[in-house]
């Protein structure tokens, strides 16, 4: 899989693995989720023999010995020459053959999964194991937890035998190419979109070290055109040829990089500010999501809110008030969250959020789970104003935003307020630290610090939105109109 994404990554993975950084917290969590789903899948094959935990040679020896037993094999290890594969589930099939079952924590079959299984099948066939069918077992996105989880309801096995067969014809050449790459010199970096697809490459920081401060990959929604520019030797936004076609927003971005100054559309900002009416409620949620639902009524990867921060301004010139909620127990936080939010939120005015679809989606899911809040949720959603709008529309753009309208880029670019000094600096880390504190048996002193860090982080998001509106008002001094 490394070789399919990048020959350089494959070479380093094999020849100099110490160059590959250890997975960060978010990546490790993804791995952990996959292991939990894998364990759940094993329950569908009673009597299976698990090779996990054995050493390399032991896995190979034990797998070969157990093939004659005709029982499901978990983490089966197969080798043929220089080729080696680990198979999540090797299940006995008709006529003495076997089925490959690859288990993923995703909710659908992806092309990279088919390639993965195609290689496993190739190694099995080369070693004399007859493969009848191939399956990709993944999460059922429509599953809703009610009581103890039934693995047969949580997981779906999709047959991909034909898709794998289509890849089989080119597998020998692909394998030869990869073996040749592994044996040769380290390939030069090939920078482009492949560095993040299908996965973020752990060598990206190393390979991108020589990129300029404002690379062409930062251009807003540049897509495939970034690869076109990179292939032509253009790496910096400032070096893009004048005749290269860019859209209006990309032109603004290039101009800002060249002059080092922000672009300000005063009329556009004033028009946006006119959509705001007092009182203002600046609102932000933090959520967690798990592949396997934790509580009844949840579905896989549902965003479960555990924290909100709300900064309220009753009227022009009035003091800023801060209200917040943070769950601290290992139970379903949604009922307490909803009750606290309703108590904190006043009537009338606007609810100011950043990237409205997220908070709106969380609230609508809550209303579906707790219908007694349905009318109130509808009212809150109807009052929402999305603060991302003037930045996504490039009414304001600063070169420090690097092509992004995200709050994490806009806030420091516009106000100088950043996240680098916080112990928790983004939503993914907030989610994982909360889960570790609440569900992970963390020592009490560390738990207390995590809760303090979460309050500081989420509070900065909403106070940051207040400061953004204050800065925007400086570009539209006549707002609010009397």
Crossing angle of the two packed helices 407-415 and 444-474, in degrees rounded to 10: 60
Question: Between the CA of residue 437 and those of 97, 441, 442, what are the distances in Å?
Answer: 47, 7, 5
Closest by CA position to 47, among listed 77, 74, 72, 64: 72
Question: Between the CA of residue 429 and those of 23, 289, 362, 449, what are the distances in Å?
Answer: 14, 12, 19, 14
Question: Between the CA of residue 332 and those of 35, 205, 439, what are the distances in Å?
Answer: 23, 38, 11
pLDDT at 476: 87
- Judged by DSSP in three states, 371 sits in helix
| Bridge partner list, 325 | 308
- Judged by DSSP in three states, 305 sits in strand
Query: DSSP letter at 289?
Result: -
> Using an 8 Å Cβ cutoff, are 110 and 121 in contact?
no
Report d(CA 435, CA 135) in Å as an integer: 32
CA of residue 152 relative to chain centroid, distance: 26
Report d(CA 35, CA 361) in Å as an integer: 28
Report d(CA 82, CA 75) in Å as an integer: 19
pLDDT at 6: 95
CATH code for the structural domain at 270-474: 3.30.420.10
Crossing angle of the two packed helices 444-474 and 427-439, in degrees rounded to 10: 160
Beta-carbon count within 10 A of 453 CB: 19
pLDDT at 482: 43
DSSP string spanning 228-263? HHHHTT--BGGGS-TTS---HHHHHHHHHHHH-S-E
| Bridge partner list, 85 | 78
**Which residues of the chain, if any, have pLDDT below 70?**
479-482
pLDDT at 148: 96
Annotation: CATH topology of 2-182? Lambda Exonuclease; Chain A (3.90.320)
Question: Between the CA of residue 411 and those of 165, 308, 402, 423, what are the distances in Å?
Answer: 51, 19, 13, 17
- Please report which helix (H) or strand (E) contains residue 386, including its range: strand 384-386
Beta-carbon count within 10 A of 13 CB: 18
- Please report which helix (H) or strand (E) contains residue 384, including its range: strand 384-386
pLDDT 10s digits, 405-458: 999 999 999 999 999 999 999 999 999 999 999 999 899 999 999 999 999 999
Give CB contacts under 8 A, 24+ apart, made by 207-213: 207/8, 211/235, 212/236, 212/237, 212/238
CA angle 34, 107, 131 (to 5 degrees): 75
pLDDT 10s digits, 244-291: 999 999 999 999 999 999 999 999 999 999 999 999 999 999 999 999
174 contact partners, CB below 8 Å, separation of at least 6: none
Q: Say if pTM beats, i.e. exceeds, 0.85.
A: yes
Tokens representing 376? 């109130």
Q: Where are the domains of the chain?
A: 2-182, 270-474
pLDDT at 480: 65
Helix segments in 370-480, DSSP class H: 374-382, 389-392, 407-415, 427-439, 444-474
CATH topology identical between 2-182 and 270-474? no
Query: Which phi and psi (to 5°) does residue 83 adopt?
Result: -100, 140
């Amino acid at each position: 899989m490394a070789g399919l994404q990048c020959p350089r990554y494959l070479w380093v993975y094999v020849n100099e693995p110490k160059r590959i950084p250890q997975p960060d917290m978010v990546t490790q969590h993804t791995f952990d989720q996959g292991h939990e789903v894998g364990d759940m899948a094993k329950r569908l094959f009673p009597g299976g023999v698990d090779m996990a935990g054995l050493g390399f040679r032991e896995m190979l020896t034990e797998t070969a010995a157990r093939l004659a037993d005709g029982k499901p094999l978990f983490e089966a290890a197969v080798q043929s020459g220089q080729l080696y594969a680990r198979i999540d589930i090797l299940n006995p099939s008709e006529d003495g053959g076997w089925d490959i079952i690859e288990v993923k924590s995703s909710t659908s079959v992806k092309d990279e999964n088919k390639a993965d299984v195609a290689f496993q099948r190739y190694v099995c066939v080369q070693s004399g194991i007859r493969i009848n069918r191939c399956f990709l077992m993944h999460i059922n996105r429509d599953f809703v937890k009610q009581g103890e989880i039934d693995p047969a309801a949580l997981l779906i096995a999709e047959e991909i035998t034909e898709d794998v067969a289509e890849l089989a014809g080119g597998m020998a050449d692909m394998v030869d190419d990869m073996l040749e790459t592994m044996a040769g010199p380290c390939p030069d970096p090939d920078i482009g979109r492949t560095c993040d697809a299908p996965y973020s490459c752990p060598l990206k920081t190393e390979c991108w070290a020589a990129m300029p401060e404002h690379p062409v990959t930062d251009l807003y929604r540049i897509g495939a055109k970034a690869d076109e520019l990179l292939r032509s030797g253009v790496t910096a936004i400032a070096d893009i040829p004048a005749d290269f076609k860019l859209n209006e927003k990309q032109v603004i971005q290039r101009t800002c990089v060249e002059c080092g100054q922000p672009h300000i559309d005063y009329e556009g900002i004033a028009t946006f500010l006119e959509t705001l009416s007092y009182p203002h409620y600046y609102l932000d949620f933090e959520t967690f999501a798990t592949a396997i639902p934790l509580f009844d009524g949840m579905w896989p990867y549902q965003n479960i809110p555990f924290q909100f921060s709300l900064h309220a301004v009753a009227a022009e010139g009035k003091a800023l008030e801060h209200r917040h909620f943070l769950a601290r127990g290992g139970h379903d936080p949604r009922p307490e969250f909803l009750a606290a939010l309703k108590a904190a939120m006043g009537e009338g005015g606007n609810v100011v959020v950043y990237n409205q679809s997220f908070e709106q989606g969380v609230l609508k899911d809550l209303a579906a789970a707790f219908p007694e809040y349905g009318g109130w949720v509808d009212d809150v959603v109807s009052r929402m104003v999305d603060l991302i709008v003037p930045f996504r529309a490039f009414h304001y753009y600063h070169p420090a935003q690097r092509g992004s309208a995200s709050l994490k880029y806009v806030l420091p670019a516009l106000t100088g307020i950043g996240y680098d000094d916080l112990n928790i600096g983004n939503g993914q880390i907030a989610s994982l630290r909360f889960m570790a504190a609440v569900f992970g048996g963390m020592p009490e002193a560390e738990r207390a610090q995590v809760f303090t860090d979460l309050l500081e982080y989420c509070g900065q998001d909403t106070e940051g939105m207040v400061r953004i509106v204050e800065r925007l008002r400086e570009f539209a001094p006549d707002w609010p109109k009397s």
